[in-house]
Amino acid sequence: MKIAVFGAGLAGLSAAEELARHGHEVVVLEREPSVGGLASTVKRDGFKYDLGPHRFHTTSDEILNFVRSLPDVKFSELNRVSRIRLLDRYFDYPLALSNVLTTMPIHMGLGMMLSFLGEKIRGVFAPREQKSFEGWVLSRFGRGLYELYLAPYNRKLWGIEPSTLSADWASQRITVPSLAGLIRETVFPSKETVRSLVSTFHYPDGGIGNISLALASRITEMGGSILVSTEPTGIQRTDTGWGINLKNGHLECEKIVNTIPVNDYTKLLGSILPGEVHEAASSLKFRALVFLTVLLNGEIEPSDHWIYTSEDRYLFNRLSIPRNFDKDAPSQVVFEYSCQVGDRIWNMTTDELFESSVPGAEHLGLFTADMVKGVDVKRISHAYPIYDLGYAEKTAVVLDALENLSGSVTCGRQGLFRYNNMDHSIEMGKYAALEIMGKASVKNHFNWDGSTWADG
């Protein structure tokens, strides 16, 4: 078969590799000028940095061995170091109760514990609703920890109030599901490791983008094509499958594997799908990211892989230090700014972004302005699916319609509107390819519960 794959991120490349290995003619269409999507390593003008901190870990030996088998991918195993900067102090992340109580001012630690006990008493008489992030977190952690860190950080990350954010985000991404659980985990650590608590991870020498580059290399070696800077503008049914209009041409194929944002894919399908599907798809929103990378003279003191910054004094919500992943990386700091396409942060110039980062960097003891050799900016329009209230029902309408669309499979973070991890994307891509060949099903392969996607 001739199969078009939309998107050259990990899911799309993994699907294309599986299809090419089975002898099919594969054409990968990628809007950007390079492959990898969010799992890319930018290399230009002395810079070499990932788009945020990436750590590869998986519970699947099959996926780990597959990635290890890729050409030129050599893993180092690293011990995770990540912290929260709050109240001019550093707190370990994932949270550990002993660290929280010894680091936090005594009166605040006591207030946090009292608010938790008060919430437990309140829950006996008037349980909170469990649909929103706010209700889910308050009922399990109390107002102290919620207002100190969980609400401010998620408000900054998502750009919406926690009361309008789905509880699914909390249940899938908060490592320990309650303050009581945090106490238990501190006193009696669980024998079964939660994904977020994985203390070691794999990292490919040279940058996370080497995984995508290796997949692309294998695809072309097997006869597949990867067309970068190529964007579909419309899709039609044909007698033999699909006709795909491109900004710079036209492509005919028998089947499609989609990994681009599901609302964009739905729009490309036009009248093939009914109006209610388009209405649901148009209401699905993605959070954008702007990365500001600062190249430095001199070393950076912290050994962290990444640091979370929830307080308003920092415009950025997270930073990472590439050299702590890869000793051969230049001395750099990568700042992440969450935003929406077209808003103030998205439209800030490089100089404005840099000027916004310097006070925070100096306050954190990372660098001073006179240490800076250069700055680089990268914008990603579709980084994280926003789990607002009602997203699950709207996503179901769209995905159910696409499930019934013969000759097409959608997968990956953007294609399924699901916040998943790198190993999930690779596995989804492989199973999407098998589904196209009639050998398996993405939907039937995964458990689709919160623990499947847990990470932090």
Parallel, antiparallel, or unpaired for β 408-410 and 47-50?
A: unpaired
Give the end of a domain, one of 175, 196, 217: 196
Nearest to 360 by CA among 315, 407, 393, 295: 315
Shared-domain flag, residues 96 and 189: yes
Which two structure tokens, joined as six digits, stand for 45?
């003008």
Shared-domain flag, residues 32 and 106: no
Which residues are registered as beta bridge partners of 192? none
- The H or E element spanning position 82 is strand 82-86
Shared-domain flag, residues 111 and 222: no
Residue 50 lies in a domain: no
Give the end of a domain, one of 177, 196, 215: 196
Contact 205, 74 (CB under 8 A): yes
Nearest to 293 by CA among 56, 54, 52: 52
Contact 70, 215 (CB under 8 A): yes
Nearest to 85 by CA among 177, 158, 148, 157: 148
Which two structure tokens, joined as six digits, stand for 385?
């699916």
Q: Report the CATH number at residue 219.
A: 3.50.50.60
- Enclosing domain of residue 298: 286-385
**Number of separate domains in the chain:** 3
Residue 163 lies in a domain: yes
Parallel, antiparallel, or unpaired for β 2-6 and 25-29?
A: parallel
Give the end of a domain, one of 150, 177, 196: 196
Contact 16, 224 (CB under 8 A): yes
Residue 412 lies in a domain: yes
Taking only the tens of pLDDT, the chain with its 456 residues reads: 999 999 999 999 999 999 999 999 999 999 999 999 999 999 999 999 999 999 999 989 999 999 999 988 999 999 999 999 999 999 998 888 788 888 999 999 899 899 999 999 998 999 999 999 999 999 999 999 999 999 999 999 999 999 999 999 988 877 666 777 766 666 666 655 554 556 899 999 999 999 999 999 999 999 999 999 999 999 999 999 999 999 989 999 999 999 999 999 999 999 999 999 999 999 999 999 999 999 999 999 999 999 999 999 999 999 999 999 999 999 999 999 999 999 999 999 999 999 999 999 999 999 999 999 999 999 999 999 999 999 999 999 999 999 999 999 999 999 999 999 999 999 999 999 999 999 988 988 887 666 665 554
Shared-domain flag, residues 212 and 299: no
Nearest to 204 by CA among 58, 324, 81, 77: 77
